[in-house]
Amino acid sequence: MSKFTRRNFLKASGAAAAAASAMSASTFAIGGAGKKVVVVGGGMGGATAAKYIRMMDSSIEVTLIEANKDYYTCFMSNEVLSGVRDIDDIKFGYTGLGKHGVKVVHAMATGIDDAKRVVKTSAGDFGYDRCIVAPGIDFKYDMIEGYDAKVAEDIPHAWKAGSQTVTLRKQLEAMKDGGTVCICPPPNPFRCPPGPYERASQIAMYLKAKKPKSKIIMLDPKPKFSKFGLFQEGWTKHYGYKGQNNAGGMIEWYGTPKDSDDNVLQSVDAKTKTVVTGFNEIKADVLNVIPAQTAGKIAKAAGLTNDKGWCPVNGKTFESTIKKNVHVIGDAAIASPLPKSGYAASSEGKVAAAAIVALLNDGKAPTPTYVNTCYSVISEVDGAMDGISVAMVYAWDEKSGKIIKVKGSGGLTPSGKDRDADMRAREVKYAHSWFENITADTFG
Amino acid sequence: MKKVKALQAAMVACGLALTGAVFADGHGGPSAEALSYSCAGCHGTNGLSSGPASPTLAGMPKSVMIETMQGFKSGDIPATIMGRIAKGYTDAEIEKMGDFFAKQKFMSAQQSSDAMLAKKGAKLHDKYCEKCHSEGGSIEMAVEDEVGVLAGQWKPYLHYSLNDFVSGKRPMPKKMKKKLETMHKKEGDAGIQALLEFYAGK
Ligand SMILES: Cc1cc2nc3c(=O)[nH]c(=O)nc-3n(C[C@H](O)[C@H](O)[C@H](O)COP(=O)(O)OP(=O)(O)OC[C@H]3O[C@@H](n4cnc5c(N)ncnc54)[C@H](O)[C@@H]3O)c2cc1C
């Protein structure tokens, strides 16, 4: 079990981390520390938690188990689809975390033995005092006939950024002018509620410039979606949009009333790029199917999920309510009213980090505070810079044992008669600033 | 908590900064660190922004932080998003964040600056701004003068702020108003641009 001795730690953390490790080594001698945290998943939640534990208490050994050498951010991946950004602009590595003394192991976690406090991985077992699980999402392929992980290589969901983002971009580039792009957003709850609609906006921006006779059809299993009014206003303004369930503009959006299956996806024919919903059948030139989601596989394998496939947690510490000493953060966790977003995952990572550091030092979990913001860039061409956002500050309510919205805070970018073109242009710049800062805060 | 204290002492002895965040016992709301860490997604770790537009908060004088946050809250200072965020915090919480960010080390933004324009900007600054934003609007003097930093702040952010001042959307001290308006009348937007290049080059 104790593969992870201090000597190994010092050896493994590399030259860059040597200084930090040496410092923590001296605290082992005095403070009787040497507590171990293993983090599974080095995305927005996991990487942030790993870094902040080390920032708060460098006597704690932190090992990060991450499957991939490179991380591609989902956020701003829609700008790769429109050609504003290159795929390499959203690629991040793990050397920054090494500098904070986080030991990064590139391996696949396969299970957690919570009785023995061991994370099992393709690179061996790692013992922990506390464990953080942040695996992001997995897809429920079995809900759509004719669609699975293999088909998704050709008909990409691109809901985890990386090679599928590039595939989708190439398909858009290869499409003829006058083609049809069909996007099938997922049912709730899912990663990044405004994401599919920002995607439609970014693709429309590309088509308007390069293939103006083309159109985008969205078949949505929901009656409405995040930033509903703001997106529709933006589509009308920039791309032609004739209202819900109407044809004629560049973007068409078809929703599904409650208790109906109108645009609930039933099947996909990969060969002909045809999708069938309860009511519609569309043959597309480029097809983007985003399946329903659950917590990442390891969460289920470790017994951390409920019957709906997500992980219930105590919102004050993000400790699983099913398994002791295991904390779940990010998209995999049920953190409502916090949405499944990168900003929320980062915020949860910091709350979990502070709780774990306190608990490992025999203290009580501190009072948390949380923030979320999601930017969406509807348009970013000269003369039409249009960014929007939703924000919220959250607090912990000890009485109800719940995360609550702080009254009076948050909300949406003003629209309608309060729309301010200058402020919208600033929001594009600030969305890009957010990207720079949150990635530096996570991986730097 | 004895062990914790001992550990804390030991770590201080080792020259390690151990934040108070994790040792707060739950009374009195979230700690200064917990509150301030949640701003990092937009303002950078410990308030040091990677830009290109979001302002750096590190080193901001506490009084300026409080005034600015209250200005966002009331709507006096125009903002894209800070109005919505500032309303999420009590006066006591804003004070805590003021303490935190004032203690963080400021570093000048890494950005381009047009040397020719900056030269002209230096002259304009001396004439119209230096009195209250001394030593070229430097962080050291910003702390002393209790004003926001100008030298080394992100250019697009300062540009937005100055536009808001000039257009009358954002209130400013009477004397500053007089100076800024005189400058703008004489030099136009080119004067603003020159000032921005001057601050960006520092
Ligand atoms: C198109 C799109 C746009 C988006 N835009 C925004 C936005 O503007 N703002 C915003 O805040 N959010 C946005 N998001 C959402 C954001 O990307 C996610 O909410 C966020 O990444 C969640 O973080 P996480 O840590 O839970 O998961 P992830 O970031 O996905 O990280 C999970 C990590 O765990 C690793 N992993 C999984 N299982 C294992 C295992 N068994 N062993 C080892 N490693 C494993 C994975 O490789 C991955 O690196 C967007 C998402 C999409 C798809």
Chains A, B: CB contacts within 8 A come to 179
Cβ pair A343, A45 in contact under 8 A: no
Encode pLDDT of A54-79 as tens digits: 999 999 999 999 999 999 999 999 99
Measured between CA atoms, the residue of chain A closest to residue B156 is: A429
Q: Check B34 against A366: CB less than 8 A apart.
A: yes
- By most ligand atoms within 8 Å of CB, the mutation choice from A40, A310, A331 for ligand 1 is A331
CB contact set of A196 (below 8 Å; sequence gap of 6+): A183, A185, A186, A218, A220, A225, A290
Residues of chain B with CATH 1.10.760.10: 31-102, 115-200
**B109, B112, B96: which is closest to B34 by C-alpha?**
B96
Q: How far is the CA of A44 from the centre of ligand 1 (A)?
A: 6
With residue A91 as reference, give the H or E element that holds it: strand A91-92
Residue of A21, A54, A56 to mutate, interface with B, max B Cβ within 10 Å: A56
Beta strand A265-269 pairing with A281-283: unpaired
pLDDT for residue A214? 98
Q: Check A23 against B41: CB less than 8 A apart.
A: no
Chain A residues in contact with B84 by the CB 8 A cut-off are 391-392, 409-411
A109 lines ligand 1 (CB under 6 A): yes
Instruction: Give, as one character, the DSSP assignment of residue A367.
Output: P
- Residue in B23, B41, B44 nearest the CB of A358: B23
**A327, A296, A291, A292: which is closest to A312 by C-alpha?**
A327
Per-residue tens of pLDDT for chain A, all 444 residues? 333 333 333 333 333 333 343 333 333 333 336 899 999 999 999 999 999 999 999 999 999 999 999 999 999 999 999 999 999 999 999 999 999 999 999 999 999 999 999 999 999 999 999 999 999 999 999 999 999 999 999 999 999 999 999 999 999 999 999 999 999 999 999 999 999 999 999 999 999 999 999 999 999 999 999 999 999 999 999 999 999 999 999 999 999 999 999 999 999 999 999 999 999 999 999 999 999 999 999 999 999 999 999 999 999 999 999 999 999 999 999 999 999 999 999 999 999 999 999 999 989 999 999 999 999 999 999 999 999 999 999 999 999 999 999 999 999 999 999 999 999 999 999 999 999 999 999 999
Q: Name the fold adopted by B115-200.
A: Cytochrome Bc1 Complex; Chain D, domain 2 (1.10.760)
- Residue in B16, B34, B85 nearest the CB of A391: B85
A64 lines ligand 1 (CB under 6 A): no
Chain A residues in contact with B52 by the CB 8 A cut-off are 429, 432-433, 436
Chain A residues in contact with B10 by the CB 8 A cut-off are 27, 30-31
- Residue in B16, B31, B88 nearest the CB of A409: B88
Measured between CA atoms, the residue of chain B closest to residue A366 is: B26
CA distance A14 to A11: 6
With residue A110 as reference, give the H or E element that holds it: strand A109-113
Tokens 């600030």 map to which residue? A430
Measured between CA atoms, the residue of chain B closest to residue A432 is: B52
CB contact set of B124 (below 8 Å; sequence gap of 6+): B183, B187, B191, B194, B195, B198
Q: Exposed, middle or buried: residue A269 (CB in 10 Å: 0-12, 13-18, 19+)? A: middle
Q: How far is CA A102 from its chain centroid?
A: 22
Which neighbouring-strand residues pair with A326? A131
Joined tokens for residue B129: 């701004």
- Omega within 30 of 0 (cis) for the link into A337: yes
A221 lines ligand 1 (CB under 6 A): no
- Residue in B10, B16, B54 nearest the CB of A433: B54
Q: Check B81 against A391: CB less than 8 A apart.
A: yes
CB contact set of B170 (below 8 Å; sequence gap of 6+): B76, B77, B78, B161, B164
- Omega within 30 of 0 (cis) for the link into A368: no
Q: Tell me the CATH number for domain B31-102.
A: 1.10.760.10
Class of domain A141-289: alpha beta
CB contact set of A396 (below 8 Å; sequence gap of 6+): A315, A316, A367, A368, A369, A402, A403, A404
Q: Chain A: nearest CA to B88, how far in angstroms?
A: 5
Q: Exposed, middle or buried: residue A99 (CB in 10 Å: 0-12, 13-18, 19+)? A: middle
pLDDT above 70 covers what percent of chain B? 87
CA distance A326 to A304: 9
DSSP per residue over A263-302, as a string? T-EEEEETTTTEEEESS-EEE-SEEEE---EEE-HHHHHT
pLDDT for residue B107? 98
Is the CA virtual torsion A224, A226, A229, A232 positive or negative?
A: negative
**What value does the mean pLDDT of chain B take?**
90
- Omega within 30 of 0 (cis) for the link into A221: no
Beta strand A281-283 pairing with A274-277: antiparallel
Q: How far is the CA of A71 from the centre of ligand 1 (A)?
A: 9
Mean pLDDT by groups of 10 residues along chain B of 202 residues: 38 39 58 98 98 97 98 98 98 98 98 98 98 96 95 98 97 97 98 98 92
Measured between CA atoms, the residue of chain A closest to residue B29 is: A367
- From start to end of A162-234, where are the E strands? 180-184, 215-219
Q: Check B22 against A357: CB less than 8 A apart.
A: yes
Q: Exposed, middle or buried: residue A169 (CB in 10 Å: 0-12, 13-18, 19+)? A: buried
User: Which amino acid would we find at residue B145?
Assistant: D
Q: What number of other Cβ atoms are within 10 A of residue A142's Cβ?
A: 10
A331 lines ligand 1 (CB under 6 A): yes
Encode pLDDT of B6-40 as tens digits: 334 444 333 333 444 444 444 579 999 999 999 99
Q: Chain A: nearest CA to B151, how far in angstroms?
A: 19
Residues of chain A with CATH 3.50.50.60: 6-138+293-436, 141-289
pLDDT for residue B28? 79
Q: Exposed, middle or buried: residue A202 (CB in 10 Å: 0-12, 13-18, 19+)? A: buried
Q: Tell me the CATH number for domain A6-138+293-436.
A: 3.50.50.60
Cβ pair B119, B170 in contact under 8 A: no
- The residue whose C-alpha atom lies closest to atom 7 belonging to ligand 1 is A75
pLDDT for residue A32? 33
